[in-house]
Amino acid sequence: MTPADPDFEQRTRDSFARQPAMTTIGIELREVGAGSVVLSMPYRADLTQQHGFQHAGILATGLDSACGYAAFSLMPADAGVLTIEFKVNLLAPARGPLLTFEGTVTKPGRTISVVDGRAYESGGAGKERKLVATMTATVMTIIGRADVRH
C-alpha cells in the first residue's frame, strides 16, 4: 500500500508516543510498515480478569492501537485517526508471557479504513506462538479538527 506521507514511519512513532495508555500498560511499538503495525507487551498479572487471563479489554487496547496506527501510517501528514468501532473475538485465554498485536489495513480509504488485527501469545520455552484474539476495526481519517490531530 502507498502511504500519503513519505515520512509515515516517524509520524506514526511520534503519535504512538503520545498515547499515555501505552506506557502505563507497557505496550511498545515494534514495527511500522505502510499499512501495518506490530506492538508487544509483557503479560501483566495486575491487568488480568478473575481466572488470571489477560483481561479482554487489555487485548482490545493493544489491538485497537495496532489497527488505528496501521491505518494512520497511510494517512496524510495533517490527519488524525479515530476508531469508529471494533469487534473482537477471543479465541483462547491469554497468559503470555509475551503478547503481540498486529494490525494490517484490509481496505484503505480516504475517509473510512477497515483494519484487521491479531493478538498472539508467545515466549514460553519451546512454545509456538498462539493466536488468542482477532479484531476488525473501522477507523476514520480526521482532517481539520483541532482536538484530533496527529
AA letter at 104: T
Q: How far is the CB of 67 from a copy of itself (least distance, A)?
A: 10
Q: How far is the CB of 127 from a copy of itself (least distance, A)?
A: 17
What count of other Cβ atoms lies within 10 Å of the Cβ of residue 108? 21
Q: What is the Cα–Cα distance from 75 to 78, expressed in whole angstroms?
A: 8
Kindly state whether residue 149 participates in binding a copy of itself, applying the rule CB under 8 A.
yes
Kindly state whether residue 77 participates in binding a copy of itself, applying the rule CB under 8 A.
no
Kindly state whether residue 4 participates in binding a copy of itself, applying the rule CB under 8 A.
no
56 is written with which cell numbers? 479482554
Q: Are 136 and 119 in contact (CB under 8 A)?
A: no
Kindly state whether residue 136 participates in binding a copy of itself, applying the rule CB under 8 A.
yes
Candidates 2, 51, 125, 128: give the one binding a copy of itself (CB under 8 A).
51
Kindly state whether residue 37 participates in binding a copy of itself, applying the rule CB under 8 A.
no
What count of other Cβ atoms lies within 10 Å of the Cβ of residue 54? 24
Question: Using CB under 8 A as the criterion, what x/- string covers residues 81-120 for binding a copy of itself?
Answer: -xxxxxxxxxxxx------------xx---xx-x-x----
Kindly state whether residue 127 participates in binding a copy of itself, applying the rule CB under 8 A.
no
Q: Per DSSP, which regions of the chain are E strands?
A: 28-33, 36-42, 80-90, 98-107, 112-122, 130-142
Q: What is the Cα–Cα distance from 40 to 59, expressed in whole angstroms?
A: 11
Residues that bind a copy of itself (CB under 8 A): 15-16, 18-21, 23-25, 45-51, 55-58, 60-65, 80, 82-93, 106-107, 111-112, 114, 116, 131, 134, 136, 138, 140, 147-150
